[in-house]
Amino acid sequence: MKINPLTYAEVSRPMYVLEEARLRENLNLIAHVAKEADVEIILAFKAYALWRTFPIFQEYIKATTASSLYEARLGFEEFGSPTHTFSPGYTDYEIDEIAHCSSHLVFNSLTQYERFHVRAKIDNEKLSYGLRVNPEYSEVETLIYNPCAPGTRFGIAADKLPETLPNDVEGFHIHCHCESGSDVFERTLTHIEEKFAKWFPQLKWINFGGGHLMTRKDYDVPRLIRVLQRFRKRYPWLKVILEPGSAFAWQTGPLVAQVVDVVEDHGIKTAILNVSFTCHMPDCLEMPYHPAVRNAILADEDGTAKGEHTYRLGANSCLSGDWMGSWTFDHALQVGENIIFEDMLHYTTVKTNMFNGISHPAIALLHTDNELEMLREYTYEDYRDRMD
């Protein structure tokens, strides 16, 4: 089916649509950064895991990063290569399978290392071990996303590391960004080197984690390349790895929803949609943030605005707070018309849930010729089989 990506008029049910042309633009830019800076950039599944699209990714990158057994299996079995794996807590009943699926295994603490480093290599002698370290510096302002906040459960501070690392530890993993710019990375790198450079001669690689939003329009890509090139010049023996998630899928496609009713109370009109913020756009309530709505202007954030063509956007769940702001359109909304939420591929597609048993949006790939390919449609059985 041919689709008009400006209106998605041909779509009449909820659907996440990944636009291949936009995805390839991001992948081309990421591949350019990797080549120019002489680093490896890999995909973080925590932000994007649509495995049916992995053949596209394989044209540009060679590896992925996992934070759990199932993500490690996804990379090993579906992407076709062992994963770079980190978890804040490995378990006795999963470590062997995780080791089998991984090329790099990062430990969150020295106690986790002591517990599992011998056992993991019994299953996979090629594993390269790393330690996650905490630079105790981050410019992430939203506390829930700040991995270096006081009391963090992530990583080892410099004053807790031994002068000589265990002889099978080959790398450091550092993650302290969230949709950050290259200026933030440059400032953070100063703190990282001040605290950890004395251990660099003992290492073979360093992973600077995710949150490098290099595909955002205002991101200073040349600056990122220069910063990485200078770091590589200072420490030429260190292989440098970045593992962004959002950068791969940034602005690659919308969630298309439909109006099913319009109700009014105390002069506030609500357009009820066939999607849910808590189920299908959970970050909108968790962070929180307001998504962009195509051809609409945000009238207010508290949902109290009134006007001829102003509507609170309400979901179809029974959660009272499942709505998102007031939006002004240039016409009166009609039952059946599309409401298009922009940029809904990264994180959203991996965080959805089936609360209330609400029908889950389908997932589709819009090819460069505007032909729509359905990747996944969800059924009652998907909901039922999650229960027992």
> Which of 287, 282, 216 lies closest to 255, judged by CA?
282
The 10s digit of each residue's pLDDT in 292-304 is 999 999 999 989 9
Long-range contacts: 196-200, Cβ < 8 Å, 24+? Answer: 196/133, 196/135, 196/158, 196/172, 197/235, 199/161, 199/165, 199/172, 200/235, 200/238
Average the pLDDT over 159-180 and give the result. 94
Average the pLDDT over 90-119 and give the result. 98
The 10s digit of each residue's pLDDT in 238-271 is 999 999 999 999 999 999 999 999 999 999 999 9
The 10s digit of each residue's pLDDT in 205-216 is 999 999 999 999
Give the pLDDT of residue 57.
Answer: 98
Angle, vertex CA 344, rays to CA 343 and CA 346, nearest 5: 95
**302 labeled part of a ligand binding site:** no
Please state the pTM of the whole predicted model: 0.94
- Residue 330 and residue 339 in contact, taking contact as beta carbons nearer than 8 Å: no
Q: Kindly state the DSSP code that residue 361 receives in the 8-state scheme.
A: P
Beta strands in the chain (DSSP E): 15-19, 40-41, 43-44, 64-66, 83-87, 102-107, 128-134, 156-157, 169-173, 205-207, 239-242, 255-265, 268-273, 297-300, 310-314, 323-328, 338-341, 362-366, 372-376
Q: What do you get for the CA distance between the two ends of the chain, in Å?
A: 37
- Residue 15 and residue 381 in contact, taking contact as beta carbons nearer than 8 Å: no
Give the pLDDT of residue 140.
Answer: 80
Give the pLDDT of residue 137.
Answer: 78
Share of the chain above pLDDT 70, in %: 100
Give the pLDDT of residue 299.
Answer: 95
Assigned token pair, 48: 């994007």
The 10s digit of each residue's pLDDT in 329-359 is 999 999 999 999 999 999 999 999 999 999 9
> Which of 377, 379, 383 lies closest to 11, judged by CA?
377
Residue 312 CA to residue 306 CA, distance in Å, equals 9
- What pairs with residue 373 in β-bridges? 365
